[in-house]
Amino acid sequence: MGNSLALPAQWACILVLWSGLSWGQEIPWHLGRVGGAQAAPSAINTATNQPGPHRIVVAVIDSGVIASHPSLEGQLLPGYDMVSGRNNLRNSRSGNFNPDERNVQCGERLLSASFRVHGTEVASLIAGNGVGGVWGVNPAAKIVPVRLFGACATSRQDLLDAIAWAAGLPVKDVPDNPHPARIINLSLSGGYASCGADLQRLISRVLEQNIFVVAAAGNNFHKSLQEPANCKGVISVGALDANNHIAPYSALDPRTVVYAPGGGPALSGHGEWSVNKLKVASYEPNFFGQDRPSSQHRGVGTSYAAPIVAGFISLWLSHHPSKTQADFMNEIHQFSRQVEPVAACASCVPRGLAGLPVMKGS
């Protein structure tokens, strides 16, 4: 495939780590367990699945990614800042995909710390290299960061351009993406209640290139899907707590394709997963207010469930690079489990990602 890259020799060390000592140090609860130990009820159970020989590129369209985090060292490809000039404190689009600086303002609008590190955390769930116990679902994947929002508001045209650029399609006045994504992750929600014709046309064009589009269902407390998750062909992702129950904040819609761990408030009990938050690569201020990298259980939301699915698809494709989205939908019963329905959605048949059986071929 044009956007599947053969696994280079230097990645052999990741495979050794994946299959050996590092798992003895820590396995994030959402990935499952090894050696027959009890896993969290909603774990996706890919902990024993090594990446295949085909390296998969995943675009993370988000707030930008802080490239210096140790858990993302070696995991990033060149990305782009797709925030247009009037919404960009840097005045124009560029190859600088870092988020806006901490505590910057755009008029009266103050950039929150959690908003700023969102893209970094999302990227780490897909392809974290294990430093600090932050393992992505597929640490052999490569991330293309695409910045869509910052301290200022974003625009619909920026979203359309970001998706097009991530897919390798031409965007006016922007150099072509040298590493088109096989998977596009959109950990964002809140557009129209029905997919707009402009966005649907673009997504349909992207899907024709055999590119997967994964989108968060949204944290709207059991309301229906909004854009981009409600667009035809998008793999919409709802959130589960560690006990395999649909999170109360998650959107609830019969069109939701799959649910994955998204965390929530701490659970009762003494299980490792009672923390009920995803471990992510993030940043915190030190005593002087300067950024310092951190690795902690803080991921909660459908924004974090979506990259679990994007990472899983990249792991699946690393073994089966010719697979299509139609294959994924046809085979989803093989790597999903039943989730207890919610009375508020009688027509919903929720499925939770459970990936162990699917990685046996190459």
| Residues labelled catalytic | 62, 118, 303
**What is the rounded CA–CA span in Å between residue 140 and residue 13?**
10
Q: Is 267 helix (H, G, I), strand (E, B) or coil?
A: coil
In total, the chain counts a number of residues equal to 362
**What is the rounded CA–CA span in Å between residue 283 and residue 288?**
14
**What is the rounded CA–CA span in Å between residue 148 and residue 60?**
10
| Orientation angle between helical segments 156-166 and 197-208, nearest 10 degrees | 0
Answer yes or no: are the C-beta atoms of 282 and 117 closer than 8 Å.
yes
**What is the rounded CA–CA span in Å between residue 31 and residue 347?**
29
**What is the rounded CA–CA span in Å between residue 3 and residue 325?**
15
| Orientation angle between helical segments 302-319 and 113-127, nearest 10 degrees | 20
Two tokens, residue 173? 């006045």
Q: Which residues pair with 62 in a beta bridge?
A: 147
Instruction: Look at phi and psi of residue 263 and say left if phi exceeds 0, alpha if psi is from -120 to 50, else beta.
Output: left
Q: How do the residues of the chain divide into helix, strand and coil, expressed in percent and rounded to 5?
A: 30, 20, 50
Select from 353, 125, 123, 341 the least CA-distant residue to 257.
353
Q: Is 67 helix (H, G, I), strand (E, B) or coil?
A: coil
**What is the rounded CA–CA span in Å between residue 30 and residue 114?**
21
What Cα–Cα distance (Å) separates residue 335 from each residue in 44, 80, 189, 317, 331? 9, 34, 26, 14, 7
Cis peptide before 254 (omega within 30 of 0): no
**What is the rounded CA–CA span in Å between residue 240 and residue 246?**
4
